[in-house]
Structure 1
Amino acid sequence: MSAARAPQDRSVESPASTLARRCAALMDADMRVAYVRHALREMAPEEMVALVAELLRRRTPAHADALLTVSLALGSAEVDAARTAAARRAAKDGLPDVVALLGSHEDATPELGELRVPDFGRGRPLTLGERKTLARRRDRQLLGRVLRDPHPDVIQVLLGNPALTEEDVVRLAATRPIDPRSLEAIYQRPRWAVRYRVRRALVQNPYCPLPVALRLVHHLTAPDARRLANAPDLRAPIREACARAAHAAPEH
């Protein structure tokens, strides 16, 4: 009979490992993000900086999953005050990758121009309320048109539609031009943002809000990070973050 396995001593477990373990115990992505959001809100600046720095350094699958959950939770207004204070501390400590993840970052996405509302075949322009109602329908042919709606409020409703597929959201995340708020709405939905193809499409879209793209850069594979580090249509901070991330990212 093999010897009994000694219980794990959690008294010496780091905060990052504790967070990774607790996140792994929560199977639902929304629950994980809600838990981490609450934890981040209560952290002192130096605690958040240390947590993010360790998660960036530790590349085990569990730590990578926890870092993704942190990256999604940071998009909540509930943690803005704690995140901003931690970003200042990280800048003072000279930690550019932590600053990239925590910072607010001034943004300058490409000009949108006029975004046209698709023809819904009703013989007249539909009101915003009518378009939001259509976004709740499960008609696949209709959803194809709703996916082209330029208004972020319509997209926000659409992202909660049970009939929506990953392929739909990848196509939406890759749309150009698109209102940056529609891309942020995708990022705000853990159900979709945890999916690799969706995250990659967001990062490589020039219309993606800079803070969102920078929070997702570290969740790319090394080949994708290297490719995007040289993408001429991406803003310099994203290319620079991709170049740094390529050295630490997994190859597949």
Structure 2
Amino acid sequence: MPGPTAPDDPSAALAARLCKVVPALADLAMRTALVLRTLEDAGPPTAARALDEIASRAEQTEAPAREVLAALLPLLGDPLHAGFVGALRVVAKDASLLALGRLLRRKARHAESQAPSPIEHRGIALEPGGRPLSLGERRALARKPSRGILDKLLADPHPRVIENLLANPRLTEDDVVRIAAKRPQKPEIASEVARSARWMARARVRMALVLNPGTPPELSVPVLSQLLRHELADVAASTQVPAVLRSAALDLLARRPPLPPDPNGGASMQ
């Protein structure tokens, strides 16, 4: 963990404030909005140092810090905030903020130079022989409460359709696990799942996303901060996920504090 910081250190004060205020909010979307507003107001240098402190505490399984990082996850998956996240990554590298660097770890640049997956814009029929539906029609249907229609849209290739599906109150956890686990996975679809505060709070959704080899490491690595020991071990043992993700899982396992003895003789899940 980082060494003691001065009481008037703005980054330390920011970290302490987030760890106090975020867990007190019940609404997940409000947590994410608060974290975004607070970090942007602070600016990348202060925000990065505060997040480094929080990430270090989260590695030691401190509950408030892990809740702050959970609220941060949807921001890391949102292309609208890619510039700010990139600025945090630069500060982490230049200032040797190791915990934040581990949180924002991604593939080496030469391994990321692949072209983005094409987004399907043509009309798609929901049934064999049916009329192809435009993107606008499918987006509108994704808002409907019809269970039958939702089932047919779960495999839609367009991220805007998936975005609407994820906001549909009739969608279930099983549905989202299917979306997150689909292979081959498009990074744009994985991003939609990752930036859903509602669904990233579900352990099964997180694991489906992390264990999908099509999920970009810049999305999956931060999710590791929310996993339990046995889940991290599953990721570290997987031969299908990127090597950078396996390495990050092993790092987190090594940094977790020793488990306290269980008076009942059971295994701890921390």
* Range of TM-score over shorter length: 0.7 to 0.9
Partner residue of 1:51?
50
Q: How much does 1:121 deviate?
A: 5.3
Q: Distance in 2 between matches of 1:89 and 1:129?
A: 40
Give the gaps of 5 or more residues in structure 2.
1-6, 257-267
Q: How much does 1:151 deviate?
A: 1.6
Q: Where do residues 103-122 of structure 1 align in structure 2 (5 Å cutoff)?
A: 106=109, 107=112, 119-120=126-127
Of all paired residues, the percent bearing the same amino acid is 30
| Amino acid across the alignment from 2:160 | D
Which one is further off, 115-124 or 153-162? 115-124
Q: CA RMSD in A?
A: 3.1
Q: How much does 1:23 deviate?
A: 0.7
Q: Distance in 2 between matches of 1:202 and 1:36?
A: 23
Q: Distance in 2 between matches of 1:124 and 1:45?
A: 49
Q: Does 1:238 align with 2:241?
A: no
Partner residue of 2:33?
34
Partner residue of 1:251?
269
Partner residue of 2:4?
none
| Amino acid across the alignment from 2:156 | D
1:42 aligned counterpart, secondary structure:
helix
Q: Does 1:136 align with 2:154?
A: no
Q: How much does 1:32 deviate?
A: 0.7
Which one is further off, 42-51 or 104-113? 104-113
| Amino acid across the alignment from 1:42 | D
Partner residue of 2:262?
none
Please tell me whether the aligned partners of residues 109 and 209 of structure 1 are also in contact (alpha carbons under 8 angstroms): no
Give the gaps of 5 or more residues in structure 1.
1-9
| Amino acid across the alignment from 1:168 | D
In structure 2, do the counterparts of structure 1 residues 113 and 251 end up closer, same or farther at CA, with 3 Å as the change threshold? same
Partner residue of 1:87?
89
Which one is further off, 193-202 or 40-49? 40-49
Partner residue of 1:5?
none
Q: Where do residues 135-214 of structure 1 align in structure 2 (5 Å cutoff)?
A: 135-214=142-221
2:35 aligned counterpart, secondary structure:
helix
TM normalised by structure 1 equals: 0.82
In structure 2, do the counterparts of structure 1 residues 24 and 113 end up closer, same or farther at CA, with 3 Å as the change threshold? closer
1:127 to 117, 122, 134: 134
In structure 2, do the counterparts of structure 1 residues 83 and 154 end up closer, same or farther at CA, with 3 Å as the change threshold? closer
Q: Distance in 1 between matches of 2:124 and 2:96?
A: 46
| Amino acid across the alignment from 1:63 | A
1:149 aligned counterpart, secondary structure:
coil
Please tell me whether the aligned partners of residues 118 and 149 of structure 1 are also in contact (alpha carbons under 8 angstroms): no
Q: Deviations over 1:24-80 (max 9, x none)?
A: 222111111011001111224442232222222222222211121123333445654
Q: Distance in 1 between matches of 2:242 and 2:125?
A: 29
Question: Aligned residue pairs: how many?
Answer: 243
Q: How much does 1:100 deviate?
A: 3.8
Q: Deviations over 1:102-157 (max 9, x none)?
A: 46754378997998956435623222222222212212122111101122121111
In structure 2, do the counterparts of structure 1 residues 95 and 227 end up closer, same or farther at CA, with 3 Å as the change threshold? farther
Please tell me whether the aligned partners of residues 78 and 191 of structure 2 are also in contact (alpha carbons under 8 angstroms): no
2:16 aligned counterpart, secondary structure:
helix
